[in-house]
Structure 1
Amino acid sequence: MGDKELQAIRERYMGAEKKKRKIRKMNEKKFVFDWNADEDTAVDINPIYANRHDVQLFGRGQIAGIDPREQKQKRSEFYDRLLIERRTEEEIERQKELAEIEKRKDKKTAWDDRHWSEKPLTEMKERDWRIFKEDFNISTKGGGVPNPIRSWKESFLPEKLLGVISDIGYVEPTPIQRQAVPIGLINRDIIGVAETGSGKTASFVIPMLVYIQELPPLNDYNRSLGPYALILAPTRELAQQIEQETLKFSRGMGFICVSIVGGHTIEEQSFNMRSGAHIIIATPGRLKDMLDRRILVLSQCQYVVMDEADRMVEMGFEADVNYILDSLPASNLRPAEEEDSMDVDKKPRKSLVGKYRQTVMFSATMPPAVERIAKTYLRRPIVVTIGTAGQAVDRIEQRIEMINDENRKKQRLSDILGGDEFAPPMIFKSTTLHGGKSQEQREAALAALKSGAKDILIATDVAGRGIDIKNVSVVINFDMAKSIEDYTHRIGRTGRAGQKGCAITFLSGSDSEVFYDLKVMVGKSSISRVPPELANHEAAQRRPEGAKRGQRAVTD
């Protein structure tokens, strides 16, 4: 019997032997990624495949962490080589055009970390303008705001006016001029707030002269119709200050500028206007008198400036201001249907009889009366704010000295004036300025201080606004102002036009109503210190009940 038969009988009666299960080793579960070179299906016909371990950059996807432009360049190299022999001349030219377009696009979107001062005007982007405004502490509200000017050369002003600006000695525009001038040039109404000594007079005079330059010259027919431009100011001193500044520009441009203020006879001022006037600078009360007497009319007035509008309201001129503005012609008002386009239209537009009327208002605060004036007579104004409204500039060191005794105050004043820390001129051989003096006496007092004939000016709050005297070294508040806004105006007589200044204030217990606001204001100055006597005083811990918050300082 053979072996196979025996094996069959054994399996029949005893069962078949089970096959021994093969045990798989643990390392066999690991997947092996390597393969033999002879198993690779890639054909090395292209240099891109030379290193198989390089990242392949073909396809629509992109590799994170690698410059997309570099990926794009590598993706195109292979196809460029394949297509180069198939392209026609037209296709080659088109390819060059597309490459140039792509290059310009990349250049436009490329990150440029240069400061705006290192760029030409044509390369300024939105981010650059935002940084520019931050550098000069300029903020605006309103639609269609034009970009500020970086320099007078880039302001697009007429060459003749640029020559006048250069002759006057204006090297660089001040922050308010940088933003207000381009707004004025597009015939937009403005509400402006800026620090004292900021050069705001030039910010409305310069666009005013450009405006007037495009109007018909004065002749025998139209000079009796009144001025082309009107500037209103609350006080005689401020009006005459504006007149002096305006004359610097208007004389070089061939325009006639006349001031109409109290203290001079109406007959004298009527004689000054015998040849007509392009620009009139006036206080509201005297101007209303001349309108009532028909000595003057405003039949062709198209440019109006209200300087320190809130101050005019405080002094009781609201009715006079409304009367004056209602005397202006309605033919040059911007139609209501065009107001919506002002938010996006940055170009000047004209009416049938010339440019639309333009109104500029500088007002530190907006009490209800000033808001009514703005809503009634301004058309979608752009609000321009320079710096922090209501805060004295950091160029002025504010010193506070607690002195309750009058004799000690006089002795301290004598020590300051007799020392050598502060050079003339000073505002405090002296001259005086107050409301009891005649206009001629007030003008003579200011002229003596400006010329150097007098070293010290002793003044009431009459000198608190609109007085611009160069290089005033110190302002001494012998008696503290009754409000923080008056205090701000007083100390604003020093530290003007970029100069440094000092303000010394004698404070006593009777001034407790302003302790809180004064502590807050001095505390915001980086170069001033709040004395412990003021910082720890009970009245300085909270604002007195019923007291108004400190109002913002008006610009000068």
Structure 2
Amino acid sequence: MDNGDINLEEGELDVDLSDEEGCKLKNENSLNNGDVVQPPVNEAKVEDLGSPKKEINDIPYVPKRVPISLEELILKRKAEEAELIKPKFISKEERIQQAIQRRQAEVQAQREKQMEAFKKQTEYLEGAKDLERKRRAEDFQERMRQHRNFRNTGKRAAQEEGPGDKVNISQEEQAIKERYLGQKRLTKRRPRRLNERKFVFDWDVADDTSQDYNPLYKEKHQIQFFGRGHIGGIDIKQQKKEIGRFYSKLLESRRSDTQKVQEKKRLSGVAKREAKQKWDDRHWTEKALDQMTERDWRIFREDFNISTKGGNIPNPLRSWAEMNVADELKDVIKKVGYPEPTPIQRQAIPIGLQNRDIIGVAETGSGKTAAFLIPLLNWIQRLPKLERLEDTEQGPYAIIMAPTRELAQQIEEETVKFGRPLGIKTVSLIGGLSREDQALKLRMGAEIVIGTPGRLNDVLENRYMVLNQCTYIVLDEADKMIDMGFEPEVNNILTYLPVTNEKPDNEDAEDDSKLLSNFATKHKYRQTVMFTATMPPAVERLARSYLRRPAMVYIGSAGKPTERVEQIVYMVSEQEKRRKLLEILAAGLDPPVIIFVNQKKGADVLAKGLEKLGYSAVVLHGGKGQEQREYALASLKSGQKEILVATDVAGREYVHRIGRTGRAGKSGIAISLLTKEDAPVFYDLKQLLIQSPVSTCPHELANHPDAQTKPGILAAKKRRAEETVYIT
């Protein structure tokens, strides 16, 4: 390698070292390739691959930059375009990474944009605050300048005009202080001018000095009138009060000591009588039984809506503790869960305990079963148990007749509930069950027999049972038995009763002392109890034939539902009935629910439809056997089924149907779906809804033409003079 010569790579230039101009060691290409530029040293060595090396002393070597040729630039651009056009495979991870990067970039850009907007807003607010401060400062300076000018001009004016104008200047300064400092303005009090007093010509009370020494003026005399005279222009009540006070003082001054003592005694007697009257006027709930007066008993009956007919009717019960029965029976009533007697029980039980015949007219669900069971159980429980066991072949002591199997089973449940703890046996005789099994139960002995008229008549005719010692007969829902055509069977059953224990048809039938003469024996007078909702002629004829001087008890209104049942009526079409029923059930009624229909087929179809929709339903109608009926009622009572679809078997009319709820003092809801085919019942239903305190009559029913008059009565047309013409 010779001194002063340099071999360069491709693209470099040969540079003379004698040139004093400084330059770089390598061009742009060499820099891009990562070559290192070494500082100048005493002996510089630069090696090149394709040329001999030269050493440079003291002078740095800087090559000249050579531009890229056009061909190379075109080739480079084409290569880049080809690289861009060429499809490149990107994996899923790379795509996810790119999406994350793009999202981060978007978030970062949005954040920067928000920061920029916040920064601009902050700068704007700061600028506005600066402008406001500047404006306030300028205003303050302007006010101060005006104030100084005002003071200077005021002083000059005072010097020029004299001391008279200083007052005005001080007033102006005070006004400015009040305006800007909020000082209260002190008003100068106006002095009173004694010479300007208004002269009063009327006399004043303080001017009268005669009342100080003359008693005539101190005690003014009040004008007294005889009769009803009063002074005009003065309050009449005040005059009466003054007159009364005057006469009382006058009488007090004229009385002697003896008269004063007598007056004190008289007033003391009046106070005692008033206190006694107040004590006697207490409510019956605050009195003991021996303190009750006839007025209290009348109020008691009005409170419970009890009315009676007949002679020598005892007072009603106020509580179970006042009932004259055995303690064992009271304990059973308490265990069963009857806290207070119902209205029919309050009046019917005392009459039954006197061995009187009873006709009870009460609403459905009013507790009639316990009303006739408690006197019966009290009498049977008093009989010797050994004597009851020996007389099993003579038949039962009591028979209870009901129109339907379901009602008979209901009465049997209540009788077993009360009688089993007392050792009293009960047998039910109803259709649909084996007659031989029922005869076997009768052979084993029973004090009480419950059944329907048809099966009872059949058993008596076939000599499965006799009534030689039957002295207690109950006809529950007698009007329904007559309506169902059981009058011949009822009359035939009553002919099997013994005639030796009939009551006399005279005043002795109302004398409790004679009726109770042999009450503790099995040979007491026969007692007949009849409960009904209405009193048709057939029922009256039956009562006259077999009842002796009965005591009639009315609870509420006969033939009307209980006031504890809320009646709801919807006017729908025949096609909307099913949808409305499902809507009511979906609203969440508490089970058990009873749905009444008019036909057996409709009951079966409706029950199947409800089962498909997820409701647990069971059917009860006349086409079902006795076992199916018992299963339906038992499943509904136990809670296994929620809905019972029934026909007239469970309730024959509207009042009896809605009476299935709200029983024994509880409340209930009765919902009715009416269509145009039910027009004959619109009028009666409207009257029941209007009379119910907890129900509301819908406008569609209240304004319906068929609900305005009773069926069979033609509505009289209004005369032309009675018509009202509205002019709009």
For residue 205 of structure 1, give the secondary structure of its aligned residue in structure 2: helix
| One of 707, 710, 719 as aligned partner of 1:540 | 707
In the TM superposition, what whole-angstrom CA distance separates every residue of 1:328-370 from its partner, at most 9, and x where no partner exists?
001111123453653x869733389632111000011111211
1:443–1:55 distance in 2 versus 1, CA, 3 Å = farther
| One of 343, 360, 364 as aligned partner of 2:529 | 360
2 CA distance for matches of 1:515 and 1:310? 23
- The answer to whether the aligner puts 1:520 opposite 2:520 as a matched pair is no
2 CA distance for matches of 1:447 and 1:71? 68
Is residue 509–residue 548 contact of structure 2 (8 Å, CA) maintained in 1? no
For residue 339 of structure 1, give the secondary structure of its aligned residue in structure 2: helix
Aligned to 2:289: 121
| One of 419, 422, 434 as aligned partner of 2:621 | 434
Stretches of structure 1 lacking an aligned partner (at least 5 in a row): 1-49, 74-102, 466-485, 548-556
Is residue 504–residue 548 contact of structure 2 (8 Å, CA) maintained in 1? no
- The answer to whether the aligner puts 1:187 opposite 2:372 as a matched pair is no
2 CA distance for matches of 1:127 and 1:220? 47
Is residue 138–residue 385 contact of structure 1 (8 Å, CA) maintained in 2? yes
Aligned to 1:456: 643
Aligned to 2:483: 314
1 CA distance for matches of 2:258 and 2:323? 50
Return the letter of the residue paired with 2:401.
Answer: L
2 CA distance for matches of 1:363 and 1:451? 29
- The answer to whether the aligner puts 1:169 opposite 2:337 as a matched pair is yes
User: How many residue pairs end up in the alignment?
Assistant: 441
Deviation of 1:166 (Å): 1.2
2 CA distance for matches of 1:211 and 1:223? 17
Aligned to 2:630: 443
| One of 298, 305, 308 as aligned partner of 2:467 | 298
TM-score (norm 2): 0.57
1:330–1:458 distance in 2 versus 1, CA, 3 Å = same
- Structure 1 stretch displaced more, 392-401 or 370-379: 392-401
In the TM superposition, what whole-angstrom CA distance separates every residue of 1:389-439 from its partner, at most 9, and x where no partner exists?
2222222111111112x321101111111222x121111120010000001
Stretches of structure 2 lacking an aligned partner (at least 5 in a row): 1-250, 596-615, 715-728
Is residue 559–residue 655 contact of structure 2 (8 Å, CA) maintained in 1? yes
For residue 336 of structure 1, give the secondary structure of its aligned residue in structure 2: coil
- The answer to whether the aligner puts 1:374 opposite 2:543 as a matched pair is yes
2 CA distance for matches of 1:143 and 1:69? 43
Deviation of 1:109 (Å): 7.1
Look at both structures and tell me which one has the larger radius of gyration over its CA atoms. 2
2 CA distance for matches of 1:56 and 1:331? 78
For residue 463 of structure 1, give the secondary structure of its aligned residue in structure 2: coil
1:539–1:349 distance in 2 versus 1, CA, 3 Å = farther
- Structure 1 stretch displaced more, 353-362 or 303-312: 353-362
For residue 361 of structure 1, give the secondary structure of its aligned residue in structure 2: strand
1 CA distance for matches of 2:622 and 2:364? 22
In the TM superposition, what whole-angstrom CA distance separates every residue of 1:169-199 from its partner, at most 9, and x where no partner exists?
1111111111111110001010112222211
Is residue 383–residue 522 contact of structure 2 (8 Å, CA) maintained in 1? no
1:106–1:524 distance in 2 versus 1, CA, 3 Å = closer
- The answer to whether the aligner puts 1:252 opposite 2:421 as a matched pair is yes
| One of 365, 377, 391 as aligned partner of 1:209 | 377
| One of 552, 562, 566 as aligned partner of 1:397 | 566
- The answer to whether the aligner puts 1:499 opposite 2:666 as a matched pair is yes
1:191–1:72 distance in 2 versus 1, CA, 3 Å = closer
| One of 387, 407, 410 as aligned partner of 2:556 | 387
Aligned-pair RMSD on alpha carbons? Answer: 2.7
1 CA distance for matches of 2:370 and 2:510? 28
More helix by share: 2
Is residue 144–residue 345 contact of structure 1 (8 Å, CA) maintained in 2? no
1 CA distance for matches of 2:378 and 2:355? 10
In the TM superposition, what whole-angstrom CA distance separates every residue of 1:263-284 from its partner, at most 9, and x where no partner exists?
1011010111222110000101
Aligned to 1:53: 254
1:67–1:333 distance in 2 versus 1, CA, 3 Å = farther
Is residue 515–residue 525 contact of structure 2 (8 Å, CA) maintained in 1? no
| One of 391, 410, 418 as aligned partner of 1:241 | 410
Return the letter of the residue paired with 1:279.
Answer: I
1 CA distance for matches of 2:286 and 2:361? 29
Deviation of 1:67 (Å): 8.9
1:57–1:207 distance in 2 versus 1, CA, 3 Å = farther
1:68–1:292 distance in 2 versus 1, CA, 3 Å = farther
For residue 450 of structure 1, give the secondary structure of its aligned residue in structure 2: helix
2 CA distance for matches of 1:380 and 1:401? 46
2 CA distance for matches of 1:357 and 1:450? 36
- The answer to whether the aligner puts 1:423 opposite 2:590 as a matched pair is yes
For residue 539 of structure 1, give the secondary structure of its aligned residue in structure 2: helix
In the TM superposition, what whole-angstrom CA distance separates every residue of 1:458-487 from its partner, at most 9, and x where no partner exists?
11111116xxxxxxxxxxxxxxxxxxxx10
In the TM superposition, what whole-angstrom CA distance separates every residue of 1:115-170 from its partner, at most 9, and x where no partner exists?
11111111111111111111111111111110111111111211111111111111
1 CA distance for matches of 2:593 and 2:503? 47
Which structure has more relative contact order (CA 8 Å, sep 6+)? It is 1
Deviation of 1:540 (Å): 0.9
For residue 464 of structure 1, give the secondary structure of its aligned residue in structure 2: coil
Is residue 347–residue 553 contact of structure 2 (8 Å, CA) maintained in 1? yes
Question: Identity across aligned pairs (percent)?
Answer: 56
Map residues 328-343 of structure 1 onto 2, 5 A cutoff: 328-339=497-508, 341-342=510-511
1:438–1:114 distance in 2 versus 1, CA, 3 Å = same
2 CA distance for matches of 1:108 and 1:256? 53
1 CA distance for matches of 2:473 and 2:326? 21
| One of 283, 300, 305 as aligned partner of 1:137 | 305
- Structure 1 stretch displaced more, 531-540 or 346-355: 346-355
1:381–1:54 distance in 2 versus 1, CA, 3 Å = same
Deviation of 1:107 (Å): 9.0
